[in-house]
Amino acid sequence: MFESLSSRFTSAFGALRSRGRISNSDIEATCAEIRQALLESDVALAVVDSFVASISEKSLAILPTLQSGTNQGQVIFEIVNAQLIEILGGSARRLRFAKKGPTVIMLAGLQGAGKTTLAGKLAKFFADQGNTPLLVASDLQRPNAVTQLQVVGDSIGVPVFAPEVGNGVGDPVKVAQAGIEFARAKQYNMVIVDTAGRLGVDEDLMKEAIRIRDAVTPDEILFVVDAMMGQDAVRTSQAFLDGVGFDGVVLTKLDGDARGGAALSIASLTKRPIMFASTGEKLSDFDIFYPDRMASRILGLGDVATLAEQAKKAFDSDTSAKLEAKFVSGEDFTLEDFLEQLLAMSKMGSMSKLLSMLPGSGAMKKAIDNFDEGEIVRTKAIVESMTPLERRDPKVLNGSRRARIAMGSGRAVSDVNNLVDRFAAAQKMMKQVRNGGVPAGMPPGSPAMSAPKKSVVQKKKSKSGNPAKRAIEEAQ
Ligand code: GDP
């Protein structure tokens, strides 16, 4: 979402870094460029002015104190980074749990902001951490909101308290109250109350939200806002703050391509932290909002911390340990291992999302946008159409086997050939790396190359000594 802002920051600092000594007028020029970039991204004027004034003041103060030889551009960059983290809310705040359960979370926001979807995401997130959430369907206005919540709840195995069908029928305050009592009686430790929005801020909406708030005394009121809304996001958040009040913000639709700067102004203007971020329609497209990671993305440094966390989640420790042991022992990396990696990668989310977390991804934007997500699915289909023997030993893949695989995966034989060739090349490269060699195309002296040579025991692939097993293998 913040690509254009990110590319403006990257170009402003590129120019600054290329200078040996930085003068006051360089700082002024950079500040003017940052100001323009923020305004064009829809960041609220008051936020822009205080942001730029603070950077200018801090940079001009530090400049005369810098020793020669210091990378002055980097020092200014760090000032901007720190300031950006601050307008995004400083350090991430965790949800406050009630001392005596259940912890009550109330969602508030306009219709279509993504509250119902978020209710499911929050429930899954906290259930995965060992909590026992209950979803309460108090959006009795929006058509199908109750059913939508039930479907979401079912999909994640979280119960939904929904005594009314909604669609304009029922009292949302009574439902919310009864939901809390139910949670208490059944000992759920958390209640997430979905409430109705309206298309715009109106008095009815605020009154209903206030009545629900007073009836359930939430531990956290989370204001849910669509980051694609532009300047309206700022006005709406102010109206909700003055009306029902809230403790934290959730930005949704951060995967969109709107300018998004208004959303970045909300924490600073409302003095409420952004606590979570939603980046897609799937329940897994959700995370805690980390101001420092977001600042890092905006400044073109990527978000390696999130990438590493996702990889850790996707590659369970068994898979990683198994692959590592194979690599060290000199066993071949097979198509079976490759399939396991593909499955883990698909658990991490879309490839373009992953690539966009890499430092410098702004410069690769076009390639990332054009990345064909279907490629992974197609490759998976080909490998899944192979027998275990073929995956372990692709050398057995003669013409008729390849034709069968192509038919089974709905691909052309040339796609199968292509995959097998690419896999053979990758396998060869891994062998070279393991043996301490330098694969073609890689610079010598890279860390993998300079690792001490391990004594590698090259195991010869042998057919099973058990005749029955060997017959099965040969039949495969
Ligand atoms: P509510 O009226 O506030 O309950 O909004 P919903 O939860 O029904 O969401 C409205 C629409 O936005 C639905 O189509 C959701 O699938 C979609 N949506 C919700 N969150 C996101 C998000 O983070 N990214 C994208 N792209 N769509 C989202």
Nearest to 266, CA basis, from 7, 42, 94: 42
DSSP state for residue 68 in the 8-state scheme: T
Residue spans of the domains in the chain: they are 3-87, 103-298, 312-434
Question: Could you give the dihedral angle defined by the CA atoms of residues 359, 437, 318 and 131, in that order, rounded to the nearest 10 degrees?
Answer: -10
- In angstroms, the CA 435 to CA 456 distance is 7
CATH architecture of 3-87: Up-down Bundle (1.20)
Number of neighbours of residue 58 by Cβ within 10 angstroms: 17
CATH architecture of 103-298: 3-Layer(aba) Sandwich (3.40)
CA 131–ligand 1 middle distance (angstroms): 24
Q: Which CATH superfamily is domain 312-434 in?
A: Signal recognition particle, SRP54 subunit, M-domain (1.10.260.30)
CA 60–ligand 1 middle distance (angstroms): 44
pLDDT number for residue 337: 80
CA 13–ligand 1 middle distance (angstroms): 36
pLDDT number for residue 451: 35
In this structure, the residue with its CA closest to atom 26 of ligand 1 is: 280
Nearest to 233, CA basis, from 205, 253, 206, 213: 253
Residue 111 CB–ligand 1 contact under 6 Å: yes
- In angstroms, the CA 6 to CA 354 distance is 17
Question: Dihedral of CA 421/425/430/435: which sign?
Answer: positive
- In angstroms, the CA 398 to CA 417 distance is 10
Q: Compute the radius of gyration of the chain from its Cα atoms.
A: 27
Helix (H) or strand (E) holding 288: strand 286-288
Show the DSSP H helices in 435-475 as ranges.
Answer: 447-450, 467-475
Q: CB-hemisphere CA count at 13 Å for 190?
A: 23
pLDDT number for residue 318: 66
* 0.85 surpassed by pTM: no
User: Could you give the C-alpha distances from 330 to 36, 187, 420, in angstroms and in order?
Assistant: 56, 53, 21
User: Could you give the C-alpha distances from 456 to 2, 329, 435, in angstroms and in order?
Assistant: 47, 6, 7
pLDDT number for residue 168: 76
DSSP state for residue 331 in the 8-state scheme: P
CA 107–ligand 1 middle distance (angstroms): 13
Residue 246 dihedral angles phi and psi, to the nearest 5°: -155, 160
pLDDT number for residue 122: 95
Helix (H) or strand (E) holding 193: strand 190-195
Tens digit of each residue's pLDDT, the chain (476 residues): 677 777 777 777 777 777 777 788 888 888 888 898 888 888 888 889 988 999 899 988 888 887 777 777 778 888 888 888 888 888 778 898 988 889 999 999 988 889 999 999 999 999 998 999 999 999 888 888 899 999 999 999 999 998 888 777 788 899 999 999 999 999 999 999 999 887 777 788 888 899 999 999 999 999 999 988 878 888 889 989 998 999 999 999 888 766 677 778 888 888 899 999 898 888 888 889 988 888 888 877 666 666 666 666 666 666 666 766 766 666 677 888 888 777 777 777 676 777 666 666 666 667 667 767 777 788 888 999 999 899 888 889 999 999 999 999 999 999 999 888 888 877 777 777 666 654 444 443 333 333 333 333 333 444 444 444 444 444 44
Contacts by residues 178-182 (CB-CB < 8 Å, ≥ 24 positions apart): 179/134, 179/136, 179/138, 179/216, 180/102, 180/104, 180/136, 180/216, 182/134
pLDDT number for residue 137: 92
pLDDT number for residue 458: 37
pLDDT number for residue 444: 39
Residue 257 CB–ligand 1 contact under 6 Å: no
| HEC letters along 83-151 | HHHHHCCCCCCCCCCCCCCCEEEEEECCCCCCHHHHHHHHHHHHHHCCCCEEEEEECCCCCCHHHHHHH
Residue 252 CB–ligand 1 contact under 6 Å: yes
Residue 112 CB–ligand 1 contact under 6 Å: yes
pLDDT number for residue 131: 93
Residue 292, Ramachandran bin (φ over 0: left; ψ between -120 and 50: alpha; else beta): alpha
Helix (H) or strand (E) holding 192: strand 190-195
pLDDT number for residue 378: 86
pLDDT number for residue 315: 64
CA 58–ligand 1 middle distance (angstroms): 40
